[in-house]
Structure 1
Amino acid sequence: MLEDSFGRQFHYLRLSVTEACNFRCQYCLPDGYDGPTSEHFMTLKEIDTLLQAFARLGTSKVRLTGGEPTLRRDFIDILRLTANTPGIERVAMTTHGARMEKFASTWKEAGLDQVNVSIDSLDPRQFAAITGQDKLRSVLRGLDAAIEADLEVKVNSVLLNDFSQSRLQRFLSWLKDTPVTLRFIELMETGDLTQFFNKQHQSGSPIKKQLENMGWQPLLRRKDAGPAQEFFHPDYAGRIGLIMPYSKDFCKTCNRLRVSAPGKLHLCLFSENGIDMRDLLSTGNVEEVIQFLQHALSQKDATHYLHEGKTGATKHLAMLGG
């Protein structure tokens, strides 16, 4: 089992397969994607070596991220490879959802268990203003297709000051009959968007207090769960989660590592530069990758240092999928 010097065990890998995305979300790629092309990202063979190493070290959950992971032409091959790696028990992905209506059942057949979809507003005009794409209705149809395909569905919504008015009430009404988990995520500062962060950051604490006052109750976390504090209410089909990276002891339960599309190990979303492992992956030697990972984990810090304004090498969230 992968364990750091603070006694934290790591069951969960967030694997970025591309940095490219065709949305222009205000908090991520407001000017659109202008980064490396696909030949700079890990090949299927290199991903296979990586997955085998992590699985042998106790990783049981893998999340495929981007950018937008489905933009890779070989995405289905990556999905099948991940699901068929011995030791990997749960496969998730994060997507903007624009392709979900067409492909949800295909992803399920290929081995996907869970899908996280970014929906920052249920108001079509707000959605278009935030994402740069007028595709809310298409994404919501995709959400229905994912539920019909028997995928576990979670919805990610970034908290932004400009779009907070009445948004919680609209989402609560939606969750009455919609069996998904909605996660409100505090905006995190990245290198390219410091001014945007200072203007738009909103704490999740007031929402947590409001939910508790309304009778929402906390859920126990699975060992491979992400960082969300999740809540349920007997009168609602859906659940609510809060991801608050600026809250006290947020990093105490960290159980996930990240690998970027170019093949760098990131011990934290906001670590300095990532540790290049592409040469190791290209050899196909799983045992050497295992030794590399065990040694690298000794360098993991206790916290992300976001409170000190340190954002590391993360210029925008598409680099590592959040």
Structure 2
Amino acid sequence: MTELHDRFGREFHYLRLSITDACNFKCQYCLPDGYRPDGKPRFMTLDEIRRVITAFAQVGTRKIRITGGEPTMRKDFSQVIELAANTPGVNTVATTTNGYRLAANAQRWFDLGLSQINVSLDSMDEGLFRQITGDGRQQLVLDGIEAALDAGYRRVKINVVLLKDLNAQQLPQFLDYIRRRPVDIRFIELMETGLGQDYFQKHHVSGQVIKQQLLAQGWREDPRGPDDGPAQNFIHPDYAGRIGLIMPYAKDFCATCNRLRVSSIGKLHLCLFTECGIELRDLLGHDDHQPQLIARLHEQLRLKGATHQLHQGLTGVTQHLASIGG
């Protein structure tokens, strides 16, 4: 079956699949007032998730990242892992989590087929972590990272949203953490969303600041693999871990786009910051609809734009990153 591609020659092997927009942290840059559902949530059922994953796998998706909100808040999170891992064609199952359940479940999830974990950890300082996330369980998150390393995941990553006047000066602490740990630390530039314009203007700082510091200290770029995300990765012979930079405002950031998103309510998003989402749920009720679902994916990919329009301040309908899965 024909793999997914767009009119710019980009191929899409990577699906970011949100299974909930609920989260139990109150991160300043995402949900500063906490999760507030708009009516009764209508998140996809396990059967609907299975049909989405099956359809994407049939058109070339090799990597599934289970996202949220906080995806581990779903009671059937383990079943979603198992389902994705047992789908023919999918060879990588990953998740992004705030880590609050990781210490207790890292081994079990690994045994079910989860192979990569990204953990949000916006500061190595306990007080600043609490200030940014609205949660005081930093040690539990750190314990979860150690549990993931012990369990044998082939890649453990730490996500750090880069914030001017907060954590942007903490590169030395993060470097010290990965000197002997095979962990990727990824600094993610703050992105403007519909609800975060003032926060963006106050705290945005370019990842180029970190990049220049790394290059000055002898770090060099590590080439990106075909199924990797958008990070520019850097390695150093004296460190067991890597540093990654995700810089959505950088020139040609979208040129290597290889990922699509499906929201927790069953909408396809061709870009995090453009359109209101394409309805898939009308085709997720029965296995007999799979051919129409696949046809819709191909049809919509022909409409994908060349780039986002963040430089023009156009954030699309993304009110906060938890609403689509980041």
Fold conserved between structures, TM > 0.5: yes
Which of 84, 88, 113 lines up with 1:111 in the alignment?
A: 113
Deviations, residues 5-54 of structure 1 (Å, cap 9, x unaligned)? 10000000000000000000000000000024775011111111111110
1:242 matched residue in structure 2: 245
2:325 matched residue in structure 1: 321
Which of 265, 273, 276 lines up with 2:276 in the alignment?
A: 273
Deviations, residues 252-293 of structure 1 (Å, cap 9, x unaligned)? 000000000000000001122001111111133211111010
Is the 8 Å Cα contact of residues 274 and 309 (structure 2) preserved in structure 1? no
1:63 matched residue in structure 2: 65
Map 1:128-277 onto structure 2 (within 5 A): 128-151=130-153, 152-164=155-167, 166-277=169-280
Secondary structure at the aligned position of 1:143 is classed as: helix
Which of 294, 300, 310 lines up with 2:298 in the alignment?
A: 294
1:35 matched residue in structure 2: 37
AA aligned opposite 1:188:
M
AA aligned opposite 1:286:
Q
Change in CA separation of 1:67 and 1:38 when aligned onto 2, cut-off 3 Å: farther
d(CA) in 1 for partners of 2:292 and 2:39? 28
1:283 matched residue in structure 2: 286
Equivalent residue pairs, number: 322
Secondary structure at the aligned position of 2:65 is classed as: strand
Is the 8 Å Cα contact of residues 273 and 315 (structure 2) preserved in structure 1? yes
AA aligned opposite 2:172:
Q
Segments of structure 1 that go 5 or more residues without pairing to the other structure are none
Query: Quick check: 37-46 or 222-231, which moved more?
Result: 37-46
Deviations, residues 180-200 of structure 1 (Å, cap 9, x unaligned)? 000000000000111100111
Is the 8 Å Cα contact of residues 123 and 167 (structure 2) preserved in structure 1? no
2:310 matched residue in structure 1: 306
Is the 8 Å Cα contact of residues 20 and 71 (structure 1) preserved in structure 2? yes
Change in CA separation of 1:42 and 1:209 when aligned onto 2, cut-off 3 Å: same
Once the 2 structures are TM-superposed, how far is the Cα of residue 173 of structure 1 from its aligned partner? 1.2
Query: Quick check: 276-285 or 120-129, which moved more?
Result: 276-285
CA RMSD of superposed structures (Å): 1.0
d(CA) in 1 for partners of 2:41 and 2:290? 22
AA aligned opposite 1:319:
S
d(CA) in 2 for partners of 1:39 and 1:147? 34
Secondary structure at the aligned position of 1:5 is classed as: coil
Once the 2 structures are TM-superposed, how far is the Cα of residue 165 of structure 1 from its aligned partner? 5.7
Structure 1 consecutive aligned stretches of length 4 or more whose deviation exceeds 4 Å: 36-39
Secondary structure at the aligned position of 1:215 is classed as: coil
AA aligned opposite 1:186:
E
d(CA) in 1 for partners of 2:248 and 2:149? 29
Change in CA separation of 1:29 and 1:305 when aligned onto 2, cut-off 3 Å: same
Once the 2 structures are TM-superposed, how far is the Cα of residue 166 of structure 1 from its aligned partner? 3.7
d(CA) in 2 for partners of 1:119 and 1:252? 28
Once the 2 structures are TM-superposed, how far is the Cα of residue 162 of structure 1 from its aligned partner? 2.2
Secondary structure at the aligned position of 2:117 is classed as: strand
Segments of structure 2 that go 5 or more residues without pairing to the other structure are none
Deviations, residues 288-309 of structure 1 (Å, cap 9, x unaligned)? 1110100010110000100000
> Structure 2 length normalisation: TM-score?
0.97
d(CA) in 2 for partners of 1:51 and 1:196? 35
Secondary structure at the aligned position of 1:230 is classed as: strand
d(CA) in 2 for partners of 1:150 and 1:38? 38
Secondary structure at the aligned position of 1:29 is classed as: coil
> Structure 1 length normalisation: TM-score?
0.98
Once the 2 structures are TM-superposed, how far is the Cα of residue 120 of structure 1 from its aligned partner? 0.4
